[in-house]
Amino acid sequence: MTKTSRVLVVPDLHAPAIHPKAFDFVRQIQDEWQTDRTVFLGDAMDLHAMSYHQKELGTARIIDEVDEAMEQLQPFYDHFSKGKVDFLVGNHDDLICRKAIDAEIPCEWLRPIKDIFGMPSNWTITERYGTVLIDGVAYRHGDAGAGGQTPAITQAKQAMRSTVIGHFHAAFGVNWYACDAMRIFGMSAGSLCDPTHLMQKYGKKYTKRPILGMGVVLDGTHAYAEVMPNANRGVK
């Protein structure tokens, strides 16, 4: 009999804007569900100083930002330094390559993201727009597919398989779809970045707010969205 997995799903962190309660929350959910492998959905770093969008006054230059981001990510690196861990490169992580292309520098000339970000040796990196398949479930960053109010189930229908995504910070939860041929789910895992951080200030112009949480997928057939308690209080 093929062994199935208990997958811990960690969404966008956007260091150095990780929510101060995020690491403890991740460990809590991991312990409660006794997961045996982990998928990080991407955007480990924000790389705000390299963004194509308007920069917020008072944010750090890129060298200082990355130093602070690495410090915030270190507890995650230490805790997940053993076992099966997948990381999906997100649009923010990919800014280094995108900026290189703007300067007509081939991305192949750059160091791998795993080395630049200082990720543990046991982490398997999937390049941007890639998919990790576990027990028939597709794990993606999410920026290559449909958006809207329920992007995950829309992307699942398009792929005709259960799908887990990050990227859309204000989308959260599990939706199901069934027909004669299949029953599938779409999970939007939210984010774990601090919406009050200066680098996330752009979100204030929207009426909807990010939902902080993460997910768990059991055996490829059951999906659960875990919201971080009290994380959105005081966010305006």
| Residue 128 pLDDT class (50, 70, 90 cuts) | very high
Q: Is residue 27 part of a domain?
A: yes
Q: Which domain holds residue 34?
A: 6-128+191-227
Q: Is residue 113 part of a domain?
A: yes
Q: Is residue 54 part of a domain?
A: yes
Q: What is the pLDDT of residues 62-103, one digit of tens each?
A: 889 999 999 999 999 999 999 999 999 999 999 999 999 999
Closest CA to 47 of 101, 120, 113, 131: 113
Q: Is residue 88 part of a domain?
A: yes
pTM exceeds 0.85: yes
Q: Is residue 112 part of a domain?
A: yes
- At 41 the pLDDT is 98
Query: What is the number of domains present in the chain?
Result: 1
pLDDT surpasses 90 at 1:
no
Could you identify the residue written with the tokens 């984010």?
Answer: 191
C-alpha span between 154 and 146 (Å, rounded)? 7
Q: Is residue 207 part of a domain?
A: yes
Q: What residue type is 115 in one-letter code?
A: D
Concatenating the DSSP letter of every residue in 76-129 gives HHHHTSSSEEEEE--TTTTHHHHHHHHTT--GGGSPPHHHHTT--TTEEEE-TT
pLDDT surpasses 50 at 234:
no
Q: What is the pLDDT of residues 13-65, one digit of tens each?
A: 999 999 999 999 999 999 999 999 999 999 999 998 888 877 776 677 888 99
Comparing 78 with 200, the larger pLDDT belongs to 78
- At 2 the pLDDT is 62
Q: Is residue 136 part of a domain?
A: no
Q: Is residue 176 part of a domain?
A: no
C-alpha span between 56 and 150 (Å, rounded)? 29
